[in-house]
Chains A and B, each alone.
Chain A
């Protein structure tokens, strides 16, 4: 189910009721709020889609409101202006059409346009990421194999240790390439065809990931703390498997020696909140901002890794959101929310 919020921003009193009726008609179940422009800009972004219905005569400039972007750099909301002057910022509805049917049509069209625009920007970003980052990340292990082959060619066979090291290098690089192709292909396939959410036991998904990661858990000497039970959840199990794999792999990789990893969940305001935390060094403040850089933004700069970008995309495709928190006793905490929709 899509979560839609319609915000009526500083609308004249006489048009509020008509706008409400129109919004109800076109988006049954949507949350409709009256809000001032100042309150709107201070409010934190919520989940789902949002349509702003703005009065042309707002006391503040419309431009920063309409052009606001979310943390992924995408337009934060759809917008429609009630007013007689044509605007390049958003579609306008002139006063003679301020009846509920024309408004309903305008609202639906604005939201649809917004969704298409966001989708278009995401797809273009994905293409740029694949063209630049993915190819860039592939070139290093490909280069390792290439250089290894060259060195092998001139290496005297009796230098068995060196030959073994080169062969190991080729094996490691091949694994790296396969893993990278597999992960990126999964994200692209999931983005093109997000899959139908089903009800499933989260415990079974987590157990499968833990089984897969057993060698790494043993190698790291990690201690895992699990909840006594897991909830029944609605989502795409394959995507959830990749999400848990990434979060747990990160904890194993960056949690330090003898890491303790805690997996947890709780219900929170109609959401299910899942988390993976460790007792490692945590994430430096300077690094936190770009942690969940969206996949379609990875072509800009080089610092972000693929793992959390993949997590962010897969969670978003299931209508959820994710984040990072410092643990009170030290260590890193990664969490994600999924909508609760299991009866």
Chain B
């Protein structure tokens, strides 16, 4: 699967991408929404990991923008906040799931399974 990782923290982007590659994904990374939008236009992206807090930008707002695009890859939100605070909002805005920082390979793998299932459902539908 082609996965896009969006976070304003370069170290987190880099290690998450590395972990996803270890799980067999092809990864693309972006630290801003502008860079992410460009990648979405250039590459065929199957799933997105998006941080809620993108420094000066809001990941939640970007999620809403993603949800009105013609091609809408499923989105898993990253957050460092207690799950209840943001998960509900993220799901309301169309995210497929939420991943709480800090996360390990097992957590990432579970979210990847979700993305796979979603892709299968979509293909079947």
Contact = CB atoms under 8 A, between A and B. Distances in A.
Contacts of A151: 15, 18-19, 22, 105
Counting chain B CB atoms within 10 Å of each CB, which of A145, A147, A176 scores highest?
A147
17 contacts: A132-B81, A136-B81, A141-B11, A142-B102, A143-B12, A143-B103, A144-B11, A146-B104, A147-B12, A147-B15, A147-B105, A151-B15, A154-B22, A155-B22, A166-B18, A287-B56, A302-B53
A144 B15 contact: yes
B16 interface: yes
A165 B14 contact: yes
B12 A140 contact: yes
Contacts of B18: 151, 162, 165-166
B101 interface: yes
A147 B104 contact: yes
Contacts of B22: 151, 154-155
A155 B53 CA distance: 29
B55 interface: yes
Classify the interface of chain A: helix, strand, loop or mixed.
helix
Interface in B55-97: 55-56, 58, 80-81
Counting chain B CB atoms within 10 Å of each CB, which of A139, A145, A173 scores highest?
A139
A162 B17 CA distance: 12
Given A139-B101, A142-B102, A151-B105, A169 B14 contact: yes
Contacts of A60: none
A150 B11 contact: no
A303 interface: yes
Interface in A145-164: 145-148, 150-151, 154-155, 162
Contact of B80 (A140, A148, A150, A165): A140
Interface of B: 9, 11-12, 14-16, 18-19, 22, 53, 55-56, 58, 80-81, 101-105, 108
B14 A150 contact: no
Contact of A144 (B12, B105, B108): B12
A172 B105 contact: no
Interface in A104-153: 132, 135-136, 139-148, 150-151
A165 B21 CA distance: 14
A302 B78 CA distance: 14
Interface string A281-303: 00000010000000000000011
A308 to B, nearest CB: 13
A164 to B, nearest CB: 12
